A and B are shown apart, each in its own frame.
Chain A
Amino acid sequence: MIGKGLLKGLGITLKHGVEKPKTIQYPEQRPYLQERFRGCLEFDYKNCIVCGMCTKACPNNVLSFETAPIEGSKKKRLVSYTIDLQYCMFCNLCVEACPTNTLFFVHDFELSTYRRDEIKKVYIPPALTQVDAGGGQAELIPQDALEPDREAEAEAKRLKQLQAMKTALSKGGQKVLAKYVDTEEDAAVLANLLQADEKKRDKMAALIVDDKEKARKVAQAFVAKERKTQAGGEEK
């Protein structure tokens, strides 16, 4: 029949006409991205073993890095790693080549920038520190890996001091206290007071460890008060 094709065509457009539009209104509605969607290429310096497989794999020379030798070791350390995204075609070859999963794609696909050099991503690992890895081997660890340990050490040290101070005060400790009051007499009064009152003793110990200036003031206040109560008791 003549016109059968035309009618079929009209039928198809009618069918699509009543279907739900496929449009995603992008800035407001975000597209659903599959798990392996290749957005921006990212680099995680902590895993990089500076093997250079990625640069060899990349067909577009997107990737490059600078290295420096490590003293006392045959290994190199990473100084900077550059991903020049403007040439990347998101072919995934570098990701496949990398033995340590250092390179990976994230879902961020809004990569446009105002300047050409802004699209170049340079990763500079934080300054490295040499630590002894045992067996005469030196190993490099990023500085920020050490930071949290130091804090913990300081905290531990403080706790130790505090404990020591507490034991000293509970056993008298006139000599220690003499630094915070004016006379030997006062020190003796304070020592007696602190020996009797555990709360005040703990407070004093903490203050001596943390803040000497404040400790002095509090100590003198304690002495003055103690003197007063003693004097009041004698009058009665």
Chain B
Amino acid sequence: MEHLFTNIAQILTSWMVSLGLPPIWADLILLIGQWTIIVVIVTLNVIVLVWLERKISGFIQERLGPNRLGPFGAFQTIADAMKLLTKEDIIPSQADRWIFMTAPMLFIVIAVMLYAVLPLGQGMEVVDLNVGLFYFISLGSLSTICLLMAGWGSNNKWSLLGAMRSVAQMISYEIPLAFSLLGVVMLAGSLNLSEIVTAQNRYWFILLQPVAFLTYFIAATAELNRGPFDMPEAEQELTAGAYTEYTGMRWALFFLAEYTNLVAVSALAATLFFGGGQGPWLPSWLWIIIKTYLIMLVFMWMKWTFPRIRMDHLMSFSWKVLIPVSLANILITGLGIEFFRGMGW
């Protein structure tokens, strides 16, 4: 079971080579295949996630959540997706057409690109990049631009306000996010995600870096625009911020990308702090799915518990609390590493 998917990939490559294809072509085709599978899985996963989120919010508020269509309302999100697909695509006449139209596509493309380096099991990353973590962080911050494009392109002041808020927020939280991951990188001595997983053979990094995990978790919540940091959307004040003017499938793309980002960030947390695919009995790819889902449940739980915080509090929390704390964490981690090295461990 452990090597199920890697074996399939190997068999496919050797089969293609035996057909007379040059190995480089075989690799390329396999890459495209893996990529497509990831995109499909991620998209379908969103359906599950939306259902899960609605169920959880329902239970927390002592409601039932969707329960009419299918067992436990499981088909409700499929129906919703159908509805969104068939809706009219409205582009405001005064909108900046091209920017308006490309923003959601870019958003989802970036969100899916994050999965390129995530090890979804032992030896199951699409690309084994030696600067994987760096790639992940830099790509993640690109989505800010998409939100700004959406807000600007809509030519609507509330959208622009929402977009500006999200830019301010995401840039502010990018810094503690990166800093908090630095501690892990220092411990593992690598930016390669699968090497970081291997480095957690003995201890999960959450034990060595609890502060880093906390700052990462908080900063990631803000990066994801999820409650309690969902200022950019702030349905009650900004009517969904940058997404206000979007309808139908374009809006759904944003929605899709947000959940895709959620999965990516949770998977990264599982990889960096919870030993990735390591775990007893079950195959590694199953472990990472379980861990990712557990982390996502916590994200949802938090969203439906905490009230949205004020914009200025949000900013000062990042600059006055998170960044100093994560910086101190780096310092202490560095000192600790030097100390233990001096002790000869």
A21 with B59: CB separation less than 8 A: yes
Residue of B nearest to A6 (CB): B306
> Quick one: which of B62, B64, B302 contacts A16, CB cutoff 8 A?
B62
- Within 8 Å CB of A12, what residues of B? 305
Interface residues of B in 55-101 (CB under 8 A from A): 56, 58-64
In the bound complex, CA of A23 to CA of B56 (Å): 15
- Within 8 Å CB of B319, what residues of A? none
Knowing A6-B306, A9-B306 touch, does A16 contact B301 (C-beta < 8 A)? Answer: no
In the bound complex, CA of A18 to CA of B59 (Å): 7
> Quick one: which of A6, A16, A20, A22 contacts B60, CB cutoff 8 A?
A16
The verdict on B35 contacting chain A, using a C-beta distance below 8 Å, is no
A8 to chain B, nearest CB (A): 10
Q: Mark B304-345, 1 if CB is under 8 A from A, else 0.
A: 111000000000000000000000000000000000000000
In the bound complex, CA of A23 to CA of B65 (Å): 10
Q: Mark A1-29, 1 if CB is under 8 A from B, else 0.
A: 00000100110111011111111010000
In the bound complex, CA of A19 to CA of B306 (Å): 19
- Within 8 Å CB of A25, what residues of B? 64
B56 with A17: CB separation less than 8 A: yes
B64 with A10: CB separation less than 8 A: no
- Within 8 Å CB of A13, what residues of B? 60, 301, 304-305
A10 with B62: CB separation less than 8 A: no
In the bound complex, CA of A19 to CA of B301 (Å): 15
- Within 8 Å CB of A14, what residues of B? 301
A19 with B304: CB separation less than 8 A: no
A21 with B301: CB separation less than 8 A: no
B201 to chain A, nearest CB (A): 31
Q: Mark A162-187, 1 if CB is under 8 A from B, else 0.
A: 00000000000000000000000000
| Interface size in chain A (residues, C-beta < 8 A) | 15
A21 with B64: CB separation less than 8 A: yes
In the bound complex, CA of A12 to CA of B302 (Å): 11
A10 with B301: CB separation less than 8 A: yes
Residue of B nearest to A5 (CB): B306
A10 with B302: CB separation less than 8 A: yes
Which of B61, B304, B305 has the largest count of A CB atoms less than 10 A from its CB?
B305
- Within 8 Å CB of B61, what residues of A? 16
- Within 8 Å CB of A6, what residues of B? 306
In the bound complex, CA of A10 to CA of B58 (Å): 15
B63 with A21: CB separation less than 8 A: yes
- Within 8 Å CB of A16, what residues of B? 59-62
- Within 8 Å CB of B59, what residues of A? 16-18, 21
Which of A6, A17, A22 has the largest count of B CB atoms less than 10 A from its CB?
A17
Which of A12, A19, A22, A23 has the largest count of B CB atoms less than 10 A from its CB?
A23
Residue of A nearest to B298 (CB): A10
In the bound complex, CA of A218 to CA of B302 (Å): 95
- Within 8 Å CB of A20, what residues of B? 62
A9 to chain B, nearest CB (A): 5
- Within 8 Å CB of B64, what residues of A? 21, 23, 25
Interface residues of B in 288-303 (CB under 8 A from A): 301-302
In the bound complex, CA of A14 to CA of B60 (Å): 7
A9 with B305: CB separation less than 8 A: yes
Residue of A nearest to B65 (CB): A21
B72 to chain A, nearest CB (A): 12
- Within 8 Å CB of B304, what residues of A? 13
A124 to chain B, nearest CB (A): 44
A10 with B305: CB separation less than 8 A: yes
Residue of B nearest to A3 (CB): B214
Knowing A10-B302, A13-B301, A13-B304 touch, does A21 contact B60 (C-beta < 8 A)? Answer: no
- Within 8 Å CB of A10, what residues of B? 301-302, 305
Q: Which 7 A-B pairs have the closest CB atoms?
A: A13-B305, A17-B59, A17-B60, A13-B60, A23-B64, A22-B62, A21-B64
User: Can you name 30 A-B residue pairings with CB atoms under 8 Å?
Assistant: A6-B306, A9-B305, A10-B302, A10-B305, A12-B305, A13-B60, A13-B301, A13-B304, A13-B305, A14-B301, A16-B59, A16-B60, A16-B61, A16-B62, A17-B56, A17-B59, A17-B60, A17-B301, A18-B59, A19-B62, A20-B62, A21-B58, A21-B59, A21-B62, A21-B63, A22-B62, A22-B63, A23-B62, A23-B63, A25-B64
Starting from the known contacts A13-B60, A13-B301, A17-B59, 20 additional A-B residue pairs (CB-CB under 8 Å) come to A6-B306, A9-B305, A9-B306, A10-B301, A10-B305, A16-B59, A16-B60, A16-B61, A16-B62, A17-B56, A17-B301, A18-B59, A19-B62, A21-B59, A21-B62, A21-B63, A21-B64, A22-B63, A23-B62, A23-B64
